[in-house]
Amino acid sequence: MKEKFAVSLMCMDFLKVGEQLNILNDWVGMYHVDIMDGHYCKNITLSPDLVKSFKKVSKLPLDVHLMTTNPEDWIDPVAEAGADIISLHAETINGQAFRLYNRIEELGLKAGLVLNPATPLSEAAHYLNRIDLLTIMTVDVGFAGQPFIEEMLDKIREAKRIREEKGYHYQIQIDGSCKASTFKKLTEAGADILILGSSGLFGLDKDLKTACAKMTESYKAALG
């Protein structure tokens, strides 16, 4: 069941990085690394240097989410730092999407795509076949703890339908407000991977092992 979950590392306790990663390695299937440049969204979070540090302890794939105005400047640095998947925002790659995905492929990495809540799947229709991971934002980009946007359930259903009709291979990942109250509706809509942050994991208990156990039980309870 751990493959159902990714963890947003921007929400972790940075005084306990090694300790927390060693715990999380046993509970989840992937790590989600948000890199924000302060321009594309009004926040600054993680960096290629932190990706390099995470890689020393992580036993899991690192999905690097580039919330950056110029993603072309970040692909090679995060690849060198140890990214396994590089996820690009549809809103930032118009005019260079195929060139950037070609570069990710050349680097031997998996390709991801991220859609903001207001961005339709149709904007990326011509390169959905190129991606391994489709991340649907269910909150606006930039900050943890925002309320879930219910309208995104239809987008998740549409992404699943397109995948089935076209024979595409991407997994559907959800970023934003994944927690006990949304686990069931997200999974039933078609989500494959849920990104856990403050409300879904780290805020459940001061002890991270206990928080992981509570998260797992809440997921089981929600899904019946």
Please tell me whether 144 is known to bind a ligand.
Answer: yes
Helix axes 17-24, 48-57, angle to 10 degrees: 60
CB 31 within 8 A of CB 62: yes
Residue type, 143: F
User: Of 34, 37, 63, 192, which is the active-site residue?
Assistant: 34
Q: Is 34 a catalytic residue?
A: yes
Please tell me whether 142 is known to bind a ligand.
Answer: yes
**Residues facing residue 33 across a β-bridge:** 64
Please tell me whether 224 is known to bind a ligand.
Answer: no
Please tell me whether 89 is known to bind a ligand.
Answer: no
Q: Which residues of 143-172 are buried (b: 16+ CB within 10 A; e: fewer)?
A: ebeeebbeebbebbebbbebbeeeeeebbb
Please tell me whether 190 is known to bind a ligand.
Answer: no
Please tell me whether 177 is known to bind a ligand.
Answer: yes
Please tell me whether 126 is known to bind a ligand.
Answer: no
Ramachandran quadrant class, 118 (left: phi over 0; alpha: psi -120 to 50; beta: rest): alpha
Q: Is 84 a catalytic residue?
A: no
- Nearest-angstrom CA–CA distance, 112 and 61: 13
Please tell me whether 132 is known to bind a ligand.
Answer: no
User: Of 37, 175, 192, 205, which is the active-site residue?
Assistant: 175
Point out the residues that are catalytic: 34, 175
Q: Which residues are annotated as a binding site for substrate?
A: 65, 142-145, 175-177, 197-199
Q: State the binding site.
A: 32, 34, 65, 142-145, 175-177, 197-199
Q: Which residues fall in the annotated binding site for a divalent metal cation?
A: 32, 34, 65, 175
